[in-house]
Amino acid sequence: MTIRQNIVFFCFTLAVGVLIFIPVTLAKDLFDDFPPNVRYYIQTLQKKADAGDVPSQEKLENLVKDTAKGRSGSAEVQFSLSQFYKNQPDQQERYVSSELSIYWLSKAAEQEYVKAQYELGSSYAADYIIMPNDASCIPATNIKQGERWLLKAARQGYAPAQYGLFNFYQSGKNVCYGSNNDQTYFKKANFIKAQEWLNKALEQQYAPAQASLGRQYLYGIHPYPKDFQKAIDYFIQAANQGDAAGIAGLGYCAEHGLGMPKDVRKAIQYYTKAADLHDVQAINALVDLYRDDVVYKNPEKENEFKIKAGIENCTRMIAIGCC
């Protein structure tokens, strides 16, 4: 080799060494406060990367880049990272992705980023935090954290969080506690608080809250009396904002003649519009109508909406890490 070739070769070798070395050294500093499961995963990834496994090298490099971005301190970036990890489809790594999603949500929420506070609260309250030892009950610590973060967002006037608190207080929960979460108790609903927060969301004309109140009146769910006309009024308010549940509610009333003349053709129109907005109940209603209705029976349409129902259900399960 000539001197020039030696210099070029040396520079190339040094550059490659630096590229390999940077993720390794940065990882030790960047990942120190990650949850234990995530740190263990990164250590395993590091060993594979050191052994020359290219996919592991790429994953580690991406982790370094993403973490460096998150450490920049921007709540918006941290929230974006939480959404990225939340939607990772890899079944083998879903526990790690879930923990990383919650980690970045927490960082953004601590900076008073209201969307992060709402989503973090919702994740804890609904027990959407995926762990290898998931139980059938919701840990008491998750219940407290869920309520805490939802309240923080709701008190800032964030309507989705106000509606989230309505759902939180409206239904009872099977709660587990103890060192191994091996003891349980049933946390009763608090209808007074539920109504209080539903009303706050309604004051902001929040469409999902309007549709929900319509359902309360439709079925007479405590503490609301059964009142079909009020149900229709609230469904219309929600539907006028493009809310799928409100549109589906009108379809149900039309199908069964509740508060309006029975009209299956109109019901199908409402359900189809709601189905286009991914409403699963509307899709299932269309399956039933196209299968059973004497006038509108249509096996081809029935099969079309059966497939659509399967896709929507699987999409939702993936979104919460259960599929």
pLDDT at 139: 87
d(CA 237, CA 272): 19
pLDDT at 288: 96
pLDDT at 14: 41
pLDDT at 319: 53
Instruction: Name the pTM for this structure.
Output: 0.80
Three-state secondary structure of the chain? CCHHHHHHHHHHHHHHHHHHHHHHHHHHHHCCCCCHHHHHHHHHHHHHHHCCCHHHHHHHHHHHHHHHHHCCCCHHHHHHHHHHHHCCCCHHHHHHHHHHHHHHHHHHHHCCCHHHHHHHHHHHHCCCCCCCCCCCCEEHHHHHHHHHHHHHHHCCCCHHHHHHHHHHHHCCEEEEECCCCCEEEEECCCHHHHHHHHHHHHHCCCHHHHHHHHHHHHHCCCCCCCCHHHHHHHHHHHHCCCCHHHHHHHHHHHHHCCCCCCCHHHHHHHHHHHHHCCCHHHHHHHHHHHHHCCCCCCHHHHHHHHHHHHHHHHHHHHHCCCC
Nearest to 78 by CA among 87, 67, 86: 67
**Which residues make Cβ contacts (< 8 Å) with residue 272, sequence separation at least 6?**
282, 286
d(CA 31, CA 35): 9
> How does pLDDT run along the chain (323 residues), one tens digit per residue?
555 544 444 443 444 344 444 444 444 567 888 888 888 888 888 899 999 999 889 988 988 888 888 888 889 999 998 988 887 766 557 678 888 889 999 999 999 999 999 999 999 988 654 444 445 688 888 899 999 999 999 999 999 999 999 999 998 888 888 777 778 888 889 999 999 999 999 999 999 999 999 999 999 998 899 999 999 999 999 999 999 999 999 999 999 999 999 999 999 999 999 999 999 999 999 999 999 998 999 999 999 999 998 888 776 655 554 44
pLDDT at 127: 66
CA triplet 117, 200, 282: central angle to 5 degrees? Answer: 80
pLDDT at 89: 61
* Peptide linkage before 225 cis (omega within 30 of 0): no
* Assigned token pair, 186: 């049933």
Beta strand pairing status for 173-177 and 183-187? antiparallel
pLDDT at 18: 40
pLDDT at 56: 87
Nearest to 172 by CA among 160, 190, 184: 190
